[in-house]
Chains A and B, each alone.
Chain A
Amino acid sequence: MNKNNEPDKHPVDSLFAQKLGNAVLATNADGFARLQARMGQTQAEKKPGFVIWRNPNAQRFMAIAACLLLVCLFGWLYLSNNTVGRVEGQQVATIKSGNRPTIDVPVTPQGNILNAPTAERADGSNPTTDNQPTGRVARLAPKTKKQNSNAISPTPRTELAQNKPTEQPKTEQPASEKIVGQAPVLASPDQVAAVKPVATQRVLVVTIDEPERLIAARQAVKMEEMETALAAASKPEKTHKPGFWEQVRRVKEGEVFTRADGSDDERGLLNRAFNGLKNSIDKDKTARQ
């Protein structure tokens, strides 16, 4: 909008521009009310009903619902990963009846399997379960070590297979094997192994007989330890020594020569001195001997 600054501006233009440029005309009194009504009408037209994503309250509820949904989703994913199809992070497959071995082992009331001899295996194969290589057992063992710590072991020399993973030939020696675990024998052959994660945990424990000398020496050491413990137990307990304030109290009450041990044995000073000398002489005698 460029002002046309013509030097020879038409007088009609000048007259009307001068008179109408800044003229004021009265408006109706209800003009602003009409304007407000029209603005409100247009705003109402712009909001077509209840738009849920423009409502701040609805936005808050939607945010909360989204957070809850995410938490539930992650929780479900986490739980499903931990339980379904996995035993301690390892994928578990379905074991078919043809591959599943049957081991007749005695089971303790707690469900532990005890002293399953290798001779009971009919096929005479490797005593490890499930026809798997021993390396797999050795790999499984450290994870289940803590759980089987309360298993009953008949000899003190029971070792877990994971402690000696390279001693595979030792299993061929005439040693008694034990399969320690909490796995009850599954009834149905097609049962999925991952139904109860605890049921699939099996630990092969190999017991090796020790030399008789070593056992004898160990027993001797144990006997010594027991004797020392008995001797310590038979020693008289320390008598209760009264405190300083108790002695002060007794002095106040009139007992001039209070005993440090607080006993009421009223013997004289000479008697106590004699006893002390006697004790010292006895100690010297034993020392000389």
Chain B
Amino acid sequence: MRLLIPFFTTETQLIAALKRGEAKAHKIVYERFSGRMMVVCTRYCANRADAEEVMLDGFMRVFEKIDQFREDGSFEGWIRRVMVTESLMFLRKSKQWRHELPLDNVPEEPDYQWADASLNADDLLRMVGQLPDGYRTVFNLYAIEGYSHAEIADTLGISEGTSKSQLSRARGLLQAQLKKTEQNPVLHSATPRTPSTTYDEQKQRTR
């Protein structure tokens, strides 16, 4: 890998090599962006195995559609959008958009400063993964990707009201989980994690 990097010192050279279909460029792109794209896919798919499959499909799509990339924007942003689209396609196939959980009462406000200081990305990813697909998708699109409700409605084929309500419910569930973690931090966030452990294994340990 270190021997290959000097061949593509700039992103433009890397993209040109990708357009030529060079295998070493594929490898460099995969190794450079796979970690971040894995997070994106895991946020949407919850199941880590599914997320990995979606990520591989997304990279395939990136390599196939590299000619469509106009180099006026960020390459990573373009890859991220491809991954989001691929994740949404996967969720659409699973047909779990409208699954909703009843939210009986409004949860208490957690301590966000404590959460910011104490919880890491894996903890938050686990919380997001416990959301229903519809909530999770809307929350990811709105809170992390920065989509508007109109765009979410257009992308997912739902109304803006549904998008707003799902976002609200997702926030409520996340607040409840944060509060639980805040009340019992050992149970929810002290699980040791290794890179080889899957998300499902972590879930089982947590339970």
Q: Which of A25, A27, A38 has the most CB of B within 10 A?
A: A25
Interface size class on chain A is 20 to 34
Evaluate contact between B151 and A27: CB separation under 8 angstroms. Answer: no
Are A15 and B112 CB-contacts (below 8 A) given A23-B36, A24-B36, A25-B35?
Answer: yes
Chain B contact residue count (CB 8 A cutoff): 42
Among B59, B147, B171, the residue within 8 A (CB) of A1 is: B147
Determine whether the beta carbon of B124 is less than 8 Å from that of A19.
yes
Query: Given the complex of chains A and B, what is the CA–CA distance between A23 and B120 in angstroms?
Result: 9
Q: Is B137 an interface residue (CB 8 A)?
A: no
Residues of A within 8 A of B145 (CB): 1
Give the chain B neighbours of A39 by CB distance below 8 A: 26, 60, 63
Report A25-69 CB contacts with B as 1/0, cut-off 8 Å: 111100110111011001000000000000000000000000000
Set B60, B115, B119: member contacting A38, Cβ < 8 A: B60
- Say whether B116 contacts A13, CB under 8 Å: no
B148 pairs with A35, CB closer than 8 A: no
Q: A3 at interface (Cβ–Cβ under 8 A)?
A: yes
CB-based contact B125/A2 at 8 Å: no
- In B84-105, which residues have CB < 8 Å from any A CB? none
Contact between B35 and A24, CB atoms less than 8 A apart: yes
**With the chains together, A39 CA to B25 CA distance in Å?**
14
- A3 and B124 contact, CB distance less than 8 A: no
Closest chain A CB from B35 CB (angstroms):
4
User: How far, in angstroms, from A10 to B43 measured CA to CA in the complex?
Assistant: 19
Q: Are A2 and B124 interface neighbours, CB within 8 A?
A: no
Residues B143 and A11 in contact, CB atoms below 8 Å apart: no
Q: How far is the CB of A214 from chain B (nearest CB, A)?
A: 94
A15 and B174 alpha carbons, distance in the complex (Å) = 11
Flag whether A256 is at the interface (Cβ < 8 A): no
Residue of B27, B39, B151 near A23 (CB, 8 A) is B39
| B144 at interface by CB-CB < 8 Å | yes
Task: Tell me the bound Cα distance from A14 to B60 in angstroms.
Answer: 32
Alpha-carbon gap, A195 to B52, bound state (A):
83
With A12-B174, A20-B124 as contacts: A35 and B56 at CB distance below 8 Å: yes
24 example contacts (A-B, Cβ-Cβ < 8 A) are as follows: A1-B81, A4-B146, A4-B148, A10-B171, A12-B112, A12-B143, A13-B143, A15-B116, A17-B143, A17-B144, A19-B119, A20-B43, A20-B125, A20-B128, A24-B38, A25-B125, A26-B38, A27-B34, A32-B27, A32-B34, A38-B56, A38-B60, A39-B60, A39-B63
Binding site for A on B (CB under 8 A): 23, 26-27, 30-31, 34-36, 38-39, 42-43, 52, 55-56, 59-60, 63, 81, 112, 115-116, 119-121, 124-125, 128, 139, 142-148, 151, 171, 174-175, 178, 195
Extra contacts, 10 of them, besides A2-B148, A15-B112 (Cβ < 8 A), are A1-B147, A2-B146, A12-B175, A12-B178, A16-B124, A17-B143, A20-B128, A21-B144, A32-B30, A38-B56
